[in-house]
Structure 1
């Protein structure tokens, strides 16, 4: 006889991704596997340290990713071509993209692993690098952001931009951030850019220490394309994607940023909407002294 009532058993296969080098990740994976396994969930296990692509088709209903924000971002790039919804279980420092704890995932398993789950489609960034020497165009993608950074020896760099084929602002400064709504709480927010609801179809563009006070952060429609051409660079000038992938840049290189045709589906955590997570995780606009009550 089954240990669970057949009416509550889950006919679900989950890809369980965890880091075997981190004890807390291993502990969480063992607990999730035990508790959800007793509810009828079958598991395929994977290592979050792997950079290998998953086989296609990937025979799973959902991916449970154990880790922090960096882990979620890296696994999103691996999973995007397989159209597998992702559940983030936080074992990192902030866990902004991983709203579940092992306890909340287990307690909400019937809804988030069943037919009642709510999916949030997250925009990805498509980045094309056209080398000045006429070499092959590199096409890459990012979950959070693309950052053109001045790099060593940290002199200001100069680049011109075009938006949908029209002349845009010229930057003389330390760099430029192009972020998805999901990534708007990262480098973009730290450099003064706007925070966007992750469901938006938009891209945020924020200069880093621009010499001109007239170059302010702005948002592009998701169907727009921004092109940046580098005119003056440093030895260390580079493009950084999601804080994880670095590509050296040279004068004359042209980089285009646009919305990727693919999206990544995140499973929403019940009772944890984006603005609540923003407040709880980042202490968004908290009152001085940690006062958390009503002001009136």
Structure 2
């Protein structure tokens, strides 16, 4: 394993898989239990978080605190839930070389690629190390006071939003790119997103959909009072800044909807590419375009060929574009068109250079 010899916490040696589970639903916990039993039969040590252990009741599982050490030495963090559970698991995997592998049990689930009916195939891939790992760009955030001193910081896989703290007032902002002022306007907030997060909050705010293998940073104003307040796509090496005038409204930062910080009066928020990417394990051959079609029910037949005009007629309801009966790739085809910096994983060992 890539963690060996690097001071990572790896009790007992061997292969380890950490489970992150939305325990609020019985069907999810049952699927996690059955998956854990199969992994254990394959000789893989299953870890569970201490705040989920009682609800899961997995006999023989290794119970670990839900902190930065939880994924140390683990090969996979297997996520059972929706994108919210996936983002919580990303916090656990951030400081390790573990790759995230999600089973989508939520409503949309762009981050978790495996649907419940394909769990057995995913478990086989884990047992045989027959998966690839994508390195997804993440972003780091610095919050500075009026004197330019860093007073806080966080990170995000999807997006960071700078929002007005008082709903009744407009937030005045000054936007800068690489320390050069670009524009200013009043708004409800400003989103800074990664390509991975382009289909999340930024998408609903009118931002572009960006393929995950495109390295870029996105800036999307929300409800701006300005003629020029279009979404921007910048270099991944740019530093994006939003300054809050001292006489303006109070602002706060929200990262992935999970971590929040206050911005001091007259302060500034700087956003840049994180030094460490997030690693996501992939098993299935569906491309990112296939996922867009499946998640949004996009029409994939020419409009002149369509004979029906009711919503959802493009694909029979029993078929899913993510399933192999719709998406067929030859054995020699590289399925990594949507994967950022894919790397093959063999023998349970991933590239240690995150």
TM-score normalised to structure 1 length: 0.86
Q: After the TM superposition, which residues 179-198 of structure 1 pair with which residues of structure 2 at under 5 Å, given as runs?
A: 179-198=193-212
Tell me if 1:258 matches 2:281. no
The Cα offsets for residues 48-92 of structure 1, whole Å up to 9 and x where unpaired, read as 779842328822211111111011112112211101111111222
Tell me if 1:280 matches 2:283. no
Query: Alignment partner of 1:262: what SS?
Result: coil
Residue 217 of structure 1 and its aligned partner are, at CA, apart by 0.6
Query: Alignment partner of 1:111: what SS?
Result: helix
In structure 2, the residue matched to 1:22 is 25
Query: Alignment partner of 1:77: what SS?
Result: helix
Alpha carbons of structure 1 residues 51 and 43: separation in structure 2 relative to 1, 3 Å: closer
Q: Is the 8 A contact 1:278 1:284 kept in 2?
A: yes
Report the Cα distance in structure 2 between the residues aligned to 1:73 and 1:178, rounded to whole angstroms: 16
Report the Cα distance in structure 2 between the residues aligned to 1:45 and 1:31, rounded to whole angstroms: 14
Q: Is the 8 A contact 2:39 2:46 kept in 1?
A: no
Alpha carbons of structure 1 residues 284 and 129: separation in structure 2 relative to 1, 3 Å: farther
TM-score normalised to structure 2 length: 0.73
In structure 2, the residue matched to 1:234 is 249
Report the Cα distance in structure 1 between the residues aligned to 2:16 and 2:92, rounded to whole angstroms: 18
Tell me if 1:203 matches 2:217. yes
Q: Is the 8 A contact 2:137 2:195 kept in 1?
A: yes
In structure 1, the residue matched to 2:311 is 289
Alpha carbons of structure 1 residues 284 and 261: separation in structure 2 relative to 1, 3 Å: farther
Q: After the TM superposition, which residues 107-146 of structure 1 pair with which residues of structure 2 at under 5 Å, given as runs?
A: 107-132=121-146, 136-146=150-160
Residue 109 of structure 1 and its aligned partner are, at CA, apart by 2.9
In structure 2, the residue matched to 1:8 is none
| Range 40-49 or range 249-258, more displaced | 40-49
Q: After the TM superposition, which residues 2-41 of structure 1 pair with which residues of structure 2 at under 5 Å, given as runs?
A: 12-41=15-44
The Cα offsets for residues 78-114 of structure 1, whole Å up to 9 and x where unpaired, read as 2111011111112222222112134413223333443
Q: Is the 8 A contact 1:17 1:47 kept in 2?
A: no
Unpaired segments ≥5 residues, structure 2: 1-13, 53-63, 301-308, 316-354
Q: Is the 8 A contact 2:73 2:98 kept in 1?
A: no
Residue 43 of structure 1 and its aligned partner are, at CA, apart by 1.1
Alpha carbons of structure 1 residues 289 and 17: separation in structure 2 relative to 1, 3 Å: closer
Q: Is the 8 A contact 2:71 2:98 kept in 1?
A: no
Report the Cα distance in structure 2 between the residues aligned to 1:187 and 1:88, rounded to whole angstroms: 20
Report the Cα distance in structure 1 between the residues aligned to 2:77 and 2:199, rounded to whole angstroms: 23
Report the Cα distance in structure 1 between the residues aligned to 2:100 and 2:240, rounded to whole angstroms: 29
Residues paired across the two proteins, number: 283
Tell me if 1:66 matches 2:88. no
| Range 63-72 or range 282-291, more displaced | 282-291
Q: Is the 8 A contact 2:163 2:252 kept in 1?
A: yes
In structure 1, the residue matched to 2:345 is none
Query: Alignment partner of 1:36: what SS?
Result: helix
Match of 1:42 among 36, 45, 61: 45
